[in-house]
Structure 1
Amino acid sequence: MAGRLLLIILMAFPLSGHTAEVPQETKEVIQALFPSATVIEDKLPDFPVYPVYQLQELLGYAYVSTDFTKLQGFAGKPITMMIGLDTKGRFTGVKVLHHHEPVFLHGLGEAPLTEFVNQYEGSALTEQIIVQASSRSARSNTGDQVYFDGVSKATVSVLIINDTILSSALQVARNKLEGFTQAAPTQARQDFYEPLNWQQMLERGYINKVIISSDEVEANLGRPLSDYPMDLEPEPGEPFTELYYAYMNSPMVGRNLLGDQAYASFLERLNDQGKVMLLMSRGVFQHVSPDFVPGSTPSRTGLNQGQLAIELRDLNWLETGQTLAAPGAPVMDAMNLFRVGGNAGFNPGSEASFHLDVALPRNHLITDNARFTMPVAFADELFETVEVQADPRQNREPVWVGLWKERGWQIALLVAALSILTVFFARQKTLTRHPKLVHRFRWGFLFFTVFFIGFYAQGQLSVVNIYTLFLALWDGFSLNVFLLDPVIFILWMYTFATLFIWGRGLFCGWLCPFGALQEMASWLGRKLGLRQIKIPERLHRQLILLKYPILLTLVGTAFYSLTLAEQLAEVEPFKTSITLHFVRYWPFVAYAAILLVIGMFVHKFYCRYLCPLGAGLAVLGRFRLFSWLDRVKRCGQPCQHCKNECGINAIRKDGRVDYDECIQCLECVVILRDQNQCVDAIVRNKQQQKQARILATDATPRQTSAAH
């Protein structure tokens, strides 16, 4: 009886003096993260975490992510999560409390988001978590790298979530967990340099060297190298591998290894954004595998400091066949510059260790593994202590930089396409003399816009981007939010610049994936012989005003309720058709499909009358510097040919072009340049022919008279 009473007392009063009541809703969330918890204390007054106990035993801590980091999501607002971390630095779970990510709220749904964050349960800060959109959750052979499925179509959101979880957990671990505390931070001495040769740098400990022999590898594997199909037996007296590593932020190391000019370029490129190690190897087994992808994380090599796995990511800054500048330096078989740190940070003057993993397949079913761990022990005189405690989130590569690197080829292709489009528009007066060229180029570019920019690269601009910008200006502008999606960012910059040159039409007529899809629907309607409906002029002029109050309503609502604004933004069918490829709840699919069907009868119905994005661009487009579409005297008086051929009805009866509605299809310019279509040209040609006949008639009597 006494034992039971004691148990009840212990459950009610853990060994802590802080026992304020936790709100019931919060307690339920934390209980789900720590199922065995018997006591959940209120948030600590000096550090915003909730201690969690089972009786008197501390299980770990729960905390709200926004108490530690306010990294903005794709919608411009932080993603708020409750995160559980046990006393060994393992995640007990992650629960999303609140977010505004459009792709999950009104697109893919919450299930993929929940599945993504559930992957953290059981993983630890001692592992390197790598988010890859193309891979399923997996663990490397050595257990240090964990690969998470990154949810296709939501890459930006999940990378932000990953960065938020890891950076906040690291702060909690270093403040509350044993073994994660950080030694006094150090940095490379920038005034410490003298010219040295290779041997001097090795002797002074500025470069670390490790030799692994074949005997060591065979002893670790438990069998001779001859048992493996790979040819990895070195020549007699040669090592299995000879590994070197050096800290390049130190001028003593970097200047001697790269040379003064190359090191200056290195520092300029690094721009004080990170810490860099140079790894070099010789022998039959290098520190990177033959199939290593430049710019990625190595699978053979890892770095640890304390209990944390430190991220290594190749910078791909060295030239093929590059040699070292230090006199006497040997020729290396492999050499890479790796940015080190990631969320965990890296203290170069503190204890750390490298490991080299040797994985040798005996056959297609069995692979033997051996790990060799080497201390990182650079000379103390290379470093100085930093007085202010370093924040591991400082001086590391921003999230958006990695995203731009991953999408490098997409960025290059998009920039090339935009450059070609710019040249085409700048020379439109010359090129429109060739109607077939213009039509083929336009349709080719529309297909590029739909299938590459839209379906593949997910580059559909949206009115959501507009009110995200307004909210960012209201709450405190950060360019990092807009840099998270390179394709969207480049398109917005290009669109904004061209608004002042050509107006809204360049984007709406050439770069909007849903607009291009409507164009294709209209073409299909005509090919099927469907009756094309012409909206009466008076009604058309009234309907085109509809999109402006829709825009104002969306932007105004965003300041009142971002959630409501995101729901109202479904007036745009872009997410359903372009982002989600019509794989969505049926009312959204029906809405997008109906708009396309209407477009088969009424040319670009949605663009003309409902699109709030088009309305916003039209407002800015009024400040354009030029009116590129030439008009001539007979345009509208009496000629109506261009007006009749303008599918979007952007030409008025008097011949003026309504640039607020024009999509810059250039059809009117083609007509104007075509001697067989333009009435003005036809009339002028007839007048010239008539004048020529008159002159010829007048000349005939004179010639006859002269003959007599």
Structure 2
Amino acid sequence: MARPLARLLVLFLAFAGFAHAELTPERRIQIQALFPQATSIENKLPDFPVYPVYQVTELIGYAYESVDFSNLQGFAGKPIRMLIGLDTRGRFTGVRILDHHEPVFLHGLGEEPLFDFVNQYPGHSLRQQIIIDTTNSRHSGKTSDGDVVHFDGVSKATVSVLIINDTMLSSALKVARAKLEGFTQAAPTRARSDFYESLSWPELVDRGYIGHWRLSTAAVEDSLGRTLGDYPDAPEAEPGKPFTELYFAYINSPMVGRNLLGDKGYRQLMEKTGDDSQVLAVMSRGAYPHLGPDFVPASTPDRLGMVQNNLSVEMRDLNMFDTGIRLQARGMPAFDRQSLFRVGGNAGYNPGAPAEMKLTVELARNHLLVDKTTLEVPVAFAGELFETVDVSPGPGSRQQPIWVSLWQQRWWQISLLVAGLTILTVFFARQRTLSRYPKAVHRFRWGFLFFTLFFIGFYAQGQLSVVNIYTLLLALWDGFSLDVFLLDPIIFILWGYTFVTLFIWGRGLFCGWLCPFGALQEMASWLGQKLGVRQIRVPERWHRKLILLKYPILLGLVGTAFYSLTLAEQLAEVEPFKTSITLLFVRYWPFVAYAIALVAASLFIHKFYCRYLCPLGAGLAALGRFRLFSWLDRVELCGNPCQHCKNECGINAIRKDGRVDYDECIQCLECVVILQDSQQCVDKRLKAKRKKQPEILATDAIDIIEVT
């Protein structure tokens, strides 16, 4: 009885596997669009999740789903599912977006920029280094320099397109290495950590520890098919000197790195770059160095590329020579340009295997015609520098996480934000002292609100959102990964700072000082007062009911996210942040009208949206109840009978009995200033009067309060 059951089980599992791998009509149509010349498309292979594609009997490529090879999460915390076509030469034949949850495309810019971006891939190869232009400043459109290809990014969606690019390349590499000829990897190697002796520059070169290559003027002219005299601006080499002379070295090897940089410099570089980075030094001299005059530090080299195993190896300048690190080997010649490059990227780099650099020589015949040639530079180092590893290369082999490059690109924005947060922290920590100077406090507050709106909001795109909350909850539900939250350094830093300060000052530090839309409302309220717009003061009993509206909105959004992330993203449009801050009101008119209406409401009711509708504020208020301190001092006369602070509180966060409602308080510090002001605070005025008159009647206090 057991054997027949076992056979039935095996048949069932086999059928289930076949059904899963069977090509559906819809998928066949999608793959046919990626390979228009295909005459046959097979089912997904049982041992490797790709669809083989044939033209008659010839294999022309493979189609596959990105999620089968890459689990990199998008900005919304879910992978971007793509169907990708790759031909047998390692070229992309097409890309189709199957599913995504990127908010900026779904409910902001629209999906057309997303489709335009992925349509840049067809025709390009894994052998090329694809660089996404996130600034739109150096390149316009799609350009190619040797093996380097620049793609236009998407403004306001930098993180999303970089994730797509990383997913495309990493998944295609896995397919190519498993299924395509010419992409298989050599045995992985790493630098020997115990191999070192003190050597001079000539000894390092003679032993093959430093590579050397010379390019003569005649070789350049032969490659170009013209003499250099045909190029008016061509650099001229000195008689008997090479047109270009290159030296290159693998710095991770202690034999090379310690001799070139010294023990201190080598240790400093390794600490700064980390164990997972691989560093290649390139030095050049002659008429045509490896970097052009317009090269931008910390970017990819403009004249130099690198290829290993038919794959382009990413090279990025570390810009480290300005930090005290320098080349100092004994007997080293002088160089015109010298660089330290981080190498690897998606393709990785195997230092013990042969590779080649490609030097692009570009010369203009006139203002219209430019000739270009690419010369191959063999890269191979002495074998004794390395050791073979069993499974994967050791330190330096693992691909650098995508968020690392994002943080490097935005270093100055990060620095400015951290400086601003540091100043704000010092200000809040010393608020009782500084509040004695009302004018200085008001000027600082308005200056910081402008910093928040224009730098944090409009420029750095640092608007926190309730979407971030349920992205975090979904990540905890599905399996937490910090990488997805590190993709936007500004958002990550702001969330980290906000979370910590919630337990010190409560919700108000963010809502009153760091929220760009909150700053925009504050400015609208100020403008309304200056224009003489009648300010509406919501009656206390209605105000206490209306402030509760934001809590069911928050619960509804979070609950919906677990049911349907797409629906939750649509409902999150209750927040006007994307329309006003991210897209600068350039959007479909109903969204713009809604955002403008909320800003206009602040002309009449101070920070209307923050007080009654903001689900993000509700979430922060809930966490802010766990704060450790109550910084806003109260005195005996506050609320009994004095109502001065309550009357001056624009957001109505002070109750009639004088207590501060920290769930609603935005920490504008106006009540702190009043309490420290001897001209405004009734308690201080009474104390001052007592000093002048030893005996004071109770009616005097009432007179003072009435005057106030």
TM-score in terms of structure 2 length = 0.92
The reply to whether residue 54 of structure 1 matches residue 58 of structure 2 is: no
Distance 2:536 2:682 in 1: 25
Q: Does 1:566 align with 2:569?
A: yes
Q: Which of the numbers 469, 477, 480 marks the counterpart of 1:477? A: 480
For residue 496 of structure 2, what is the aligned residue in structure 1?
Answer: 493
**Could you tell me how far apart the structure 2 residues matched to 1:692 and 1:499 are?**
45
| 1:518 is aligned to 2:518 | no
The offset of 1:692, in angstroms, is 10
- CA distance in structure 1 between the partners assigned to 2:94 and 2:230 by the alignment: 44
Superposed counterparts of 1:214-233, under 5 Å: 214-230=217-233, 232-233=235-236
Q: What's the counterpart of residue 305 of structure 1?
A: 308
Cα-to-partner distance string for 1:271-325 (whole Å, 9 max, x where unaligned):
2212221101122321111221111100101111122111111112223796433
Worse overlay, 96-105 or 214-223: 214-223
Deviations, residues 508-555 of structure 1 (Å, cap 9, x unaligned) = 000000111111111121122221111111111111111111111111
Consecutive unaligned residues of structure 1, counting only runs of 5 or more, are 1-16, 695-708
Q: How does 1:317-328 map to 2 (within 5 A)?
A: 317-319=320-322, 323-328=326-331
Question: Which residue of structure 1 aligns with residue 93 of structure 2?
Answer: 92
CA contact (8 A) 1:119 1:137 kept: no
Q: 1:343, 1:393 within 8 Å by CA — same for their partners in 2? A: no
1:101 aligned onto 2:102: yes
Q: CA deviation at 1:393?
A: 11
Over residues 41-93 of structure 1, what are the superposed CA-to-partner deviations in whole Å (9 max), with x where a residue is unaligned? 11000100001112212121000000001001111111110000011111111
Greater shift, 498-507 or 252-261, is seen at: 252-261
User: What's the counterpart of residue 113 of structure 2?
Assistant: 112
Alignment of 1:595-610 (within 5 A): 595-610=598-613
Q: What is the one-letter code of the residue matched to 1:90?
A: R
Matched, 1:125 2:126: yes
Q: Is the 8 A contact 1:193 1:251 kept in 2?
A: yes
TM-score (norm 1): 0.92
User: For the Cα contact (< 8 Å) 1:52–1:59, is it kept in 2?
Assistant: yes
C-alpha offsets along residues 330-388 of structure 1, whole Å, 9 cap, x if unaligned?
A: 22221111111111111212221112112122333222323221111211111222211
SS in structure 2 of the partner of residue 259 of structure 1: helix
Structure 1 Cα separation of the partners of residues 509 and 365 of structure 2: 59
Aligned partners of 1:394, 1:572: CA distance in 2, in Å?
Answer: 43
Q: Distance in 1 between matches of 2:166 and 2:173?
A: 11
Q: Which of 673-682 and 88-97 deviates more?
A: 673-682
List aligned pairs for 1:22-33, cutoff 5 A: 22-33=23-34
> Shift in Å at residue 214 of structure 1?
2.7
Moved over 6 A (4+): 17-20
Q: 1:137 to 1:79 in 2, by over 3 A?
A: farther
Equivalent residue, structure 2, for 1:441:
444
Is the Cα contact below 8 Å between 1:42 and 1:50 reproduced in 2? yes
Structure 2 residue 157 is matched with structure 1 residue 172: no
Query: In the alignment, which residue of structure 2 is the partner of 1:705?
Result: none
Quote the residue 1:35 is aligned against.
Answer: 36
- Cα distance in 2 for partners of 1:41, 1:455 equals 49
CA contact 1:137–1:146 (8 Å) conserved in 2: no
SS in 2 for 1:160: helix
Which residue is 1:9 aligned to? none
Residue aligned with 1:467, SS: helix
Letter in 1 for 2:504: I
Q: Deviations over 1:459-516 (max 9, x none)?
A: 0000111111111111111111111000001101111111111111010000000111
Larger CA deviation: 594-603 vs 61-70: 594-603
For residue 190 of structure 1, what is the amino acid of its counterpart?
S
**Residue 672 (structure 1) aligned to one of 666, 671, 675:** 675
Rounded to whole Å, the distance in 1 between the matches of 2:274 and 2:85 is 36
1:450 aligns with 2:463: no
Asked whether the equivalents of residues 81 and 100 of structure 2 are also in contact (C-alpha less than 8 Å), the reply is: yes
Q: For residues 193-245 of structure 1, give each alpha carbon's deviation from its aligned partner in whole angstroms, at most 9, with x where no partner exists.
A: 22211111111111111122233333333444455444722332232222100
Matched-pair identity in %? 70
> Cα distance 1:141–1:561, how it changes in 2: closer, same or farther (>3 A)?
closer
Q: Which amino acid aligns with 1:531?
A: R
Q: Which amino acid aligns with 2:67?
A: T
Q: How many residues align?
A: 678
Paired AA for residue 166 in structure 1: L
- 1: distance between equivalents of 2:101 and 2:215? 52
- Change in 2 beyond 3 A, CA 1:88/1:393: farther
Structure 2: how far apart are the matches of 1:439 and 1:179?
A: 67
Alpha-carbon distance in structure 2 between the residues aligned to 1:124 and 1:137: 20
Q: Which residue of 1 aligns with 2:193?
A: 190
1:21 shift after superposition: 4.3
From 227, 231, 239, the equivalent of 1:236 is: 239
Identify the match of residue 211 of structure 2 among 205, 208, 211: 208
Which has the larger displacement, 541-550 or 313-322? Answer: 313-322
Contact 1:19 1:42 in 2 (8 A): no
- What is the aligned-residue RMSD (CA, Å)? 2.1
CA contact (8 A) 2:259 2:329 kept: yes
1:141 is displaced (CA, Å) by 5.3
CA contact 1:241–1:286 (8 Å) conserved in 2:
yes
Q: 1:19 to 1:563 in 2, by over 3 A?
A: closer
Q: What secondary structure sits across from 2:186 in the alignment?
A: coil
State the Cα distance separating 1:683 from its structure 2 match.
Answer: 2.4
- Kindly report which structure 2 residues correspond to 1:96-495, keeping only aligned pairs within 5 A, or say none: 96-135=97-136, 138-140=141-143, 142-230=145-233, 232-319=235-322, 323-389=326-392, 395-495=398-498
Distance 1:120 1:392, change over 3 A: farther
Deviation at 1:599, TM superposition (A): 1.4
